[in-house]
Amino acid sequence: MDQKKNGENVCLVTTLTVVKDKGNIIGFDAISRDITEMKICENQIRALHLHATSLAKAVSIREIAEISSNILKVLGFKNGSLGIVEEDQLIHQHFLVESNGTPIVMPLDGPGITVRAINVGETLNIGNVCKCPHFVKDTDTHSEPIISELAIPIKINNKPMAVLNVVSSELDAFKNTDVQRLETLVEHIESAVERILTMRSHLKQIEEIETEKTSELLKGADRISSMVRHDLRGPLSTIKKAAHLMESSPETTDEMISTIFNSVDYAMSILEDLKQLTKPRQLNKTFTDPRKLITSILDTTLIPDDIKVISEYDNIQPFLMDEIKLRRAIDNLIRNAVEAMPDGGKLKLRLLRDGDNTKFEVSDTGYGMSEEVKNNLFTPFFTTKTTGTGLGLASCKQSIEAHGGTIEYESSPGCGTKFTVSLPIALNAEIDTVDTETQIPYMEK
C-alpha cells in the first residue's frame, strides 16, 4: 500500500528481478503495477455477494429497495433510484440520495430513459443524456446536472416489472465493469422479488381457500338446516294427521297415540343422526320384519293419487337390522321416487330373497338421471333439488354399507330409476350393538 501525492491510498504489486554479473548479484530490477482498481473491484464483488444474502432474506419490496441502495453505495454509486411498474406507470420512490419524498411518476407511453429500458426490456447505458431523445430533465430530485445514466430493467418471468438506474454528472461515467456489476445485482433483485411475489401469491391462495372453506361451511350448515326441515316434515305431518283423527274420531285414540310415539321416535333418530355425521355410527340391531317395515313406511308417506303403487313381497322371516336407520334409508328412496314423478307414474316396491341376502327394490317411471347426476349420486352435499341437502343418498349408502350390504341403481333419462338394496340375512346372529367407521365427511379436517 502506498499513497499518491494527493494523499489517496494506492495499492501496488511489485515484481523484483535479480541482476547478476558473472554469477554475482549486482542489483535488482523492480517493476510496480497499480492494482488499486482491481482491488476495489474485488472488494465490491465480495460486498455484492455478501449483500445478496440479505436480499434473499428480504420480505418486502421496500426492504429490497433499502438493501439495494446500500449495495449501490458500497459499489461506489452516488445517485440513482429503483422504479416500480404499477399498471401503466413507472413510479420512482426509492432513491439512493435524500429526496423530498415525492415519488416521480412516469407514464409508460411517455419519455424517459428508465421508461425506455422498461419498454425495450434491455440495459441502456447513456454516456451523454443531452444527445438522448428519451432523456427527461429532473431538477427537483437531482441537485447536480445529469450527464450519464445507466438503466437496467428488472424482469419477472421475462416481463420488465421494475428498473434500477444510476446517474452521474460526469461524461461517459459508467464502464462495462459497472454494467456487469449492476446486472449481477439486478439478477439478485429479480430472484428476491420473484420469491416475494410467489409468497404473496401463495398467501392469497390460502386466503381464498379459507374463504371458500368458510363459504362451504355456511352452505353446509344451511343444507343441514334444510335437511332437518325436510326429514322432520314426514313424522311431523304424521303426528298432525293423528291428532286431527283423534279429535274427529276419539275411538282411534289408542291407535293414534302409538303412531304419534313412533313418529316422535323417528324424529328423534333424525336428530341423533345429525350428531353422528362426523363420528362412527352405531347400529342398534333388533329382529325386524322387512315386510312390515316397508308397509309402515308407505303408511306414513304422502303419495299423490296419480302415482300407482305396486308391491311384491316374498315371504321373508325377520332378521337382524337397525330398524330406524334402514327405515330412514328406504323412506329416502321412496320419497325420491315419488318426487321424480311430478306428473304421476308407477312406484314399484319389491322384497325378495336372493340366496343369503334380502333385496329391497324401489323403482319409478320418472325422468331418470343424467350421467352427471349418476357420477355424483352418493357424493355428500351434491343435489339437483333447490331445497335439497345432498345428504339423503349419502346417508342412505352409509347405513346400508354399515349393515354389510350394498346399494345399486339403474337409470337413464326419461326411463325412470331403480334402486336395489341388498342386505345379508343374519337369522342366527346374536343381537348386539355394532360399531362402524363408515361416515359422511361433513367438513374437511
* CATH number of the domain encompassing residue 155: 3.30.450.40
The three-state secondary structure class of 394 is helix
In terms of pLDDT, which residue wins out, 203 or 106? 106
Q: Is residue 231 part of a domain?
A: no
Q: Is residue 28 part of a domain?
A: yes
Residues 166 and 58 in one domain: yes
> DSSP letters along 152-200, please?
EEEEETTEEEEEEEEEESSTT---HHHHHHHHHHHHHHHHHHHHHHHHH
* CATH number of the domain encompassing residue 369: 3.30.565.10
pLDDT in tens, 271-289: 765 665 555 457 888 898 9
Residues 287 and 333 in one domain: yes
Residues 28 and 90 in one domain: no
Residues 284 and 428 in one domain: yes
Residues 9 and 117 in one domain: no
Q: Is residue 175 part of a domain?
A: yes
Cell of 277: 355425521
Q: Is residue 267 part of a domain?
A: no
Q: Last residue of a domain, which of 162, 180, 203?
A: 203
Q: Rounded to two decimals, what is the model's pTM? A: 0.44
**High-pLDDT (> 70) share of the chain, %:** 78
Q: How far apart (Å, rounded) are the C-alpha atoms in residues 366 and 249? A: 37
Domain range enclosing 28:
2-34
Lowest mean pLDDT among 48-57, 100-109, 155-164, 178-187: 48-57
Q: Is residue 54 part of a domain?
A: yes
Residues 24 and 101 in one domain: no
Residues 23 and 49 in one domain: no
Lowest mean pLDDT among 83-87, 389-393, 397-401, 439-443: 439-443
Q: Is residue 246 part of a domain?
A: no
Question: Is the separation of the CB atoms in 380 and 394 below 8 Å?
Answer: yes
Residues 79 and 9 in one domain: no
pLDDT in tens, 375-417: 877 776 666 665 555 567 877 888 888 888 999 999 988 889 9
pLDDT in tens, 306-362: 999 999 998 888 888 888 888 888 998 998 899 889 999 999 999 999 888 899 999
Residues 27 and 47 in one domain: no
Q: Minimal CA–CA distance to 288: which of 257, 263, 313, 321?
A: 321
Residues 50 and 10 in one domain: no
Residues 199 and 52 in one domain: yes
Residues 8 and 55 in one domain: no
Q: Tell the residue number behind the cell numbers 341376502, with chain if given.
A: 357
Task: Tally the domains of the chain.
Answer: 3
Q: Minimal CA–CA distance to 92: which of 140, 158, 144?
A: 140
Q: Is 168 exposed, middle or buried (0-12, 13-18, 19+ CB in 10 A)?
A: buried
Q: Is residue 243 part of a domain?
A: no
